[in-house]
């Protein structure tokens, strides 16, 4: 996404100082060893970006490596059974992402002959504007400007410290200026690392972002029950009551979770029993 605007001279100097701070932190404490930063493989980068949606980097690292071993190519993922994909996704949460990723792999193979760069021009399940731009930046070093939670934190902390609600379009004015002349791939890595650093030192600046949504509590949530159901169904087929008894959960809540899983295409019911789709 591009946004052209001539900024006042004082803002330009602030952006130069911001750039210097971002690069200095990256040189001193950047997360240079993250496995998805050591590849230009667009499929591997797509996997990492989908995994990193709403999930901490520390949780993704181990799962990413195992997932790539199990499904080393987009063709391997496209032909995989959903149950197998979900098994390797366990522990990351938001299991619909695993299905979206497998479905995207099928579209990439079927419609675009495995060409991910070409496929990014099409609508892919679970691949929104940020993920699409991130793959283009990190796999192909294309000069896009994009925002995610850590990048927002970096800009909000530096340029909007006293603004109660910050819209992305205002951040992008600064982001477009700051990105000029920088290597797209490394600049966005550096921004992410600087933003993560800022969030550790200060109250999360992204709370002031217009896009901010507080994550709901996981313990006892429908998300937790959904995950338990999928792990149980990995062992076989069960009816509503059997699932509720095995998980020691209220049958009404289990049915609610099953209905949500079915809407997402993760489970199906056959002859009174549920199984992985």
Catalytic center residues:
49
Q: CA 104, CA 122: separation in Å to the nearest integer?
A: 10
Residue with tokens 């008894």: 245
Task: Give the three-class secondary structure for 140.
Answer: helix
DSSP 80: S
Spatial CA neighbour of 46 closest among 112, 125, 144, 113: 125
Cα separation values, 171 from 88, 138, 152, 159, 260, Å: 37, 21, 8, 8, 35
Torsion of CA 96, 262, 121, 116, to 10 degrees: 60
Q: From the CB of residue 273, how many other CB atoms can be counted at a distance below 10 Å?
A: 15
Sign of CA dihedral 147, 144, 75, 114: positive
Residues β-bridged to residue 268: 275
Residues β-bridged to residue 274: 238, 269
Spatial CA neighbour of 7 closest among 182, 159, 128: 159
Q: CA 133, CA 127: separation in Å to the nearest integer?
A: 10
């Amino acid at each position: 996404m591009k946004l052209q605007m001539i900024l006042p001279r004082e803002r330009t100097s602030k952006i130069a100082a911001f750039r210097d701070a971002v690069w200095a932190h990256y040189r001193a404490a950047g997360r240079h060893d993250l496995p998805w930063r050591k590849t230009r493989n667009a499929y591997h980068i797509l996997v990492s970006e989908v995994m990193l949606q709403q999930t901490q980097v520390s949780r993704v690292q181990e799962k990413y490596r195992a997932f790539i071993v199990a499904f080393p190519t987009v063709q391997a993922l496209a032909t995989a059974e959903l149950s197998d994909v979900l098994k390797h996704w366990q522990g990351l949460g938001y299991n619909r992402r695993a299905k979206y990723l497998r479905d995207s792999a099928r579209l990439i193979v079927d419609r675009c002959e495995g060409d991910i760069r070409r496929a990014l021009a099409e609508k892919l399940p679970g691949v929104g504007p940020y993920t699409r731009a991130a793959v283009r930046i990190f796999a192909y070093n294309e000069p896009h400007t994009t925002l995610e939670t850590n990048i927002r934190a970096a800009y909000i902390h530096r340029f909007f410290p006293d603004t109660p609600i910050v819209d992305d379009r205002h951040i992008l004015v600064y982001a477009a200026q700051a990105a000029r002349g920088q290597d797209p791939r490394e600049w966005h890595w550096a921004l992410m690392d600087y933003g993560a650093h800022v969030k550790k030192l200060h109250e999360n600046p992204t709370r002031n972002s217009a896009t901010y949504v507080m994550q709901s509590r996981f313990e006892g949530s429908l998300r937790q029950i959904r995950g338990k159901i999928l792990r149980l169904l990995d062992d076989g087929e069960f009816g509503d009551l059997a699932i509720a008894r095995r998980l020691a959960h209220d049958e009404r809540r289990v049915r609610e979770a099953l209905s949500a899983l079915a809407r997402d295409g993760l489970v199906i019911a056959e002859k009174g029993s549920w199984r992985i789709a």
